[in-house]
A and B are shown apart, each in its own frame.
Chain A
Amino acid sequence: MIGALAGLGRSGLAAVASVGRAHLLLLGILGGTGSLFARPRLLIAQMFSIGVLSLLIIVVSGLFVGMVLGLQGYYVLSQFGASESLGVMVSASLVRELGPVVSALLVAGRAGSALTAEIGLMKATEQLSALEMMAVDPVRRILTPRFFGGLLSMPLLAALFSAVGVLGGYFVGVGLLGVDDGAFWSQMQAKIDFHEDVVNGVIKSIVFGVVVTWIALFQGYDATPTSAGVSRATTRTVVHAALAVLGLDFVLTALMFGD
């Protein structure tokens, strides 16, 4: 009993210490923001690595999610004679929720795990120590560009996901199920509010971008420098990032849309 309590206490203390280290790392990363202006090429390289290389999975996933939404939405709406509202349903679902959330989950799985593995292996192979010994701050030189690369890529990827998803919904709804073309677009244009829907979706994706990239970088930087340690850190990145995205989505949705 005492042993179990002691174990619980140790785990709790370790978790609190880990959160503290993560916040200190974030401060260090943000402290290096100025260096990005001196070396914008580092940021562009990371936006390519995190953003451009995630395009395929984002586009394909967005297309299928939009097509499923079109199909499911049509069957529900047609029961109430409201199939003309399919465009609103598809676009609102994507712009408000599925675009930011699913693209964040996909980026956590593809780019987040890659970031953790890369940083963890750099630590295990003493590359980060070598940078320190060359009087180069590894947090500012390695982590800061990756953090902002993720932060800036996420809203762009979410926007692309939503846009492709709407096209998928259009293809299924209008192309295959016979929903009126004009009604699909005009209702969408009339009912989707720029501030209420689009801006809130963009805010969500920025928040998810920060959280996913922060978790990925911290797990890599804090990883035990062994192959097993890097493997565990990569797993933790995907699990923690997914849970954080879903939890934060609820909080943000409640704040944005809960009257």
Chain B
Amino acid sequence: MGNGSPRLSTARSDRGPDASGSSVSPPARGESLVKIRGLRFLREGRPILDGIDLDLERGKVTAIMGPSGTGKTTLLKLISGQLQPDAGSVIVDGQDVHRLSHRELYRLRTRMGMLFQSGALLTDLDVFENVAYPLREHARLPESLLRKLVLLKLEAVGLRGASRLMPSQLSGGMARRVALARAVALDPMMIMYDEPFTGQDPISMGVLVSLIRHLNDASRLTSIIVSHDVRETASIADYIYIIANGQVMCRGTPAQVAAETSDWVRQFMDGLPDGPVHFHYPSAPLEREFFGAGGDAQ
């Protein structure tokens, strides 16, 4: 256990290029709704994503997992055009997100939904108005039809009875379900979930897990789940990417990832406290810290 240099990259190279296919172009699967090629994103000169390739298949639930701070949320922001990459491309439904004009990007976003980690409900509007917001903005509907649509969306997430509550009156799980109803209000082609299970009690988590899968299948959505909740995410995902150190460390179906033997993937999937990712943050030896350079007081 210790103080050496980061060993994630070692683990990856140990695994060899064929262990998961991560060092070559993604294997051909069904039609991709989102194609990411050579994506590189730097923050203050430090690479957060370093030339990654992903294919997110249409109609499927794809999970992007990895330890905290590895750029999973950044990846979602790049897919939705909220951030500009330093290199590479993100193609969504045939459109290069970062080459679109402001107007074209906003038009594309009407076909994307996003569930934020905090729910991000508008705090001065009640539940009904939060779900109605995108419909009022983009669809000129008669009030009676709009009301029915909103109540149907709320019914789908089990919160029709909470339509007149304010966001401050909702539990964390309820807020995320309302946010989910809002995200699907415009019947998008894809929906992105940013850490949907974080901080949820077991009941709320179970509800969210089944809702995500059910909505994806019933509405023929394409879902992208960014999470580090391994068991819940793997239970509903059709395909999994694991990223760390700005690279794709492993990819495959849940069964393939479960069978992966590399130390790094096993540590992440099994939640082991030490392994290629060290328990200790890199630091000088404890002896040197206590007794000065070289530990000469010994």
Q: CB within 8 Å of B: which residues of A? A: 125-127, 129-137
- The reply to whether A126 and B80 contact each other, CB–CB distance below 8 Å, is no
- The reply to whether A129 and B122 contact each other, CB–CB distance below 8 Å, is no
- The reply to whether A137 and B114 contact each other, CB–CB distance below 8 Å, is no
A25 → B minimal CB distance (Å): 15
In residues 36-92 of chain B, which contact A (Cβ within 8 Å)? 80, 82
Interface string of B166-204 (1 = CB under 8 A from A): 000000000000010010000000000000000000000
- The reply to whether A125 and B120 contact each other, CB–CB distance below 8 Å, is yes
- The reply to whether A133 and B109 contact each other, CB–CB distance below 8 Å, is yes
- The reply to whether B114 and A133 contact each other, CB–CB distance below 8 Å, is yes
Q: A126-B117, A129-B82 are in contact. Are A135 and B137 (CB under 8 A)?
A: yes
Task: Return 10 A-B CB contacts under 8 Å, by A number.
Answer: A126-B116, A126-B118, A127-B122, A129-B82, A130-B179, A134-B110, A134-B137, A134-B182, A135-B137, A136-B134
Interchain CA distance A134-B80 in the complex, whole Å: 11
Interface string of B99-114 (1 = CB under 8 A from A): 0000000110110111
In the complex, B231 has a CB within 8 A of chain A: no
* A-B CB proximity, top 10 nearest: A130-B120, A126-B120, A135-B106, A135-B109, A133-B114, A134-B134, A126-B116, A135-B110, A127-B120, A136-B137
Interchain CA distance A194-B122 in the complex, whole Å: 46
Residues of chain A within 8 A (CB-CB) of B122 are: 127, 130-131
Interchain CA distance A137-B82 in the complex, whole Å: 12
In the complex, B138 has a CB within 8 A of chain A: yes
Residues of chain A within 8 A (CB-CB) of B109 are: 132-135
Q: CB within 8 Å of A: which residues of B? A: 80, 82, 106-107, 109-110, 112-114, 116-118, 120-123, 133-134, 137-138, 179, 182
Interchain CA distance A126-B120 in the complex, whole Å: 5
Task: From the candidates A126, A131, A133, A137, name the one contacting B112 in the complex (CB within 8 A).
Answer: A133
Residues of chain A within 8 A (CB-CB) of B121 are: 127, 130
Interchain CA distance A131-B82 in the complex, whole Å: 11
Interchain CA distance A36-B40 in the complex, whole Å: 39
- The reply to whether B138 and A135 contact each other, CB–CB distance below 8 Å, is yes
Q: A126-B118, A129-B116 are in contact. Are A135 and B82 (CB under 8 A)?
A: no
| Chain A residue, CB-CB nearest to B114 | A133
Interchain CA distance A236-B110 in the complex, whole Å: 36
Interchain CA distance A160-B212 in the complex, whole Å: 56
B186 → A minimal CB distance (Å): 8
Interchain CA distance A136-B109 in the complex, whole Å: 9
A132 → B minimal CB distance (Å): 6
Q: A125-B123, A129-B82 are in contact. Are A135 and B117 (CB under 8 A)?
A: no
Task: From the candidates B82, B117, B133, name the one contacting A134 in the complex (CB within 8 A).
Answer: B133
- The reply to whether B138 and A129 contact each other, CB–CB distance below 8 Å, is no
- The reply to whether B80 and A135 contact each other, CB–CB distance below 8 Å, is no
